[in-house]
Chains A and B, each alone.
Chain A
Amino acid sequence: QITLKESGPTVVKPTQTLTLTCTFSGFSLSTSGVGVGWIRQPPGKALEWLALIYWDDDKRFSPSLKSRLTITKDTSKNHVVLTMTNMDPVDTATYYCVHRQTEKDHRFNNWGQGTLVTVSS
């Protein structure tokens, strides 16, 4: 059974850097084709893809947010970490960790429960 769980602060101040950790089980990020990424959803709004890291350390980012994002993996710990700099109230959202089973298409096979991050002073 594949599970993913997000952890990190629930509140960050404007201009601060957000660091979120995804801890997963049931698959290995060293398996060919596998990826782990992040998607967010502001309250009552649409989903927005942020970033993805593949098994071979290939990294992909949403062009609109690329300058603010970093994504890294620790395969031995089954962790993926997302950092987002210069947080703003418009970044208030539920952040989901997602699993991609194959790099041949763009589906996200499994999702974490999500973590709500509020940006407020």
Chain B
Amino acid sequence: QSVVTQPPSASGTPGQKVTISCSGSRSNIGSNFVYWYQQLPGAAPKLLIYNNDERPSGVPDRFSGSKSGTSASLAISGLRSEDEADYHCATWDDSLTDLVFGGGTKLTVL
């Protein structure tokens, strides 16, 4: 059981906006940056968002990250079929002195 929690699944239709949450505590999300990774089917994860809300070059601005208190969110606007993937949040935990990942959220584009 991870110390940061994500919903196991999310869904949306093309063009919609979908939000995926990542919930933690003061020792992890509350004190540290949050990162998001996209894992397409059968592929390795790819960095999507870093330092809560920064996008690496090449990541479309349809993807955005935010953080408030001990929770973070990944928003995907203008949903496309190619966005169907697993999305993982990650952060450092000061109490565990460990990098922790959420359980991952499987996004389905209906």
Task: State the A residues within 8 Å of B (CB).
Answer: 45-49, 62-64, 96, 105-114
**Given A47-B101, A111-B44, A111-B46, A105–B96 Cβ distance below 8 Å?**
no
List residues 66-110 of chain B with CB under 8 A from any CB of chain A: 88, 90-92, 96-104
Nearest-neighbor residue (CB-CB) of B46 within chain A: A111
B12 at the interface (CB under 8 A from A): no
B44 cross-chain contacts in A, Cβ below 8 A: 96, 111-114
User: Does more than half of chain A's interface fall in helix, strand or loop, or is it mixed?
Assistant: loop
Question: Which of B2, B51, B92, B99 is close to A46, meaning CB atoms less than 8 Å apart?
Answer: B2
**Interface size of B in residues (CB-CB distance below 8 Å):** 26
Q: State how many angstroms separate the Cβ of A25 from the closest Cβ of chain B.
A: 16
Q: Which of A47, A62, A114 contacts B98 (CB 8 A)?
A: A62
What residues of chain B have their CB less than 8 Å away from a CB belonging to chain A?
A: 2, 32-33, 35, 37, 43-47, 50-51, 56, 88, 90-92, 96-104
A49 to B88, CA, bound (A): 13
Partner of B102, one of A46, A111, A112: A46
Residue from B33, B43, B44 with most neighbouring chain A CB atoms (10 Å): B44
Closest-CB distance, A6 to chain B (whole angstroms): 10
CA distance A110 to B32 in the complex (A): 21
Contacts of A48 in B (CB 8 A): 101
Contact A49 B46 (CB under 8 A): no
A7 to B102 Cα, complex, angstroms: 27
B residues near A112, Cβ cutoff 8 Å: 44
A-B contact pairs, 19 of them (CB 8 A): A46-B2, A46-B88, A46-B102, A46-B104, A47-B45, A47-B88, A47-B90, A48-B101, A49-B90, A49-B100, A49-B101, A63-B96, A105-B50, A106-B90, A106-B99, A107-B47, A108-B47, A109-B47, A114-B44
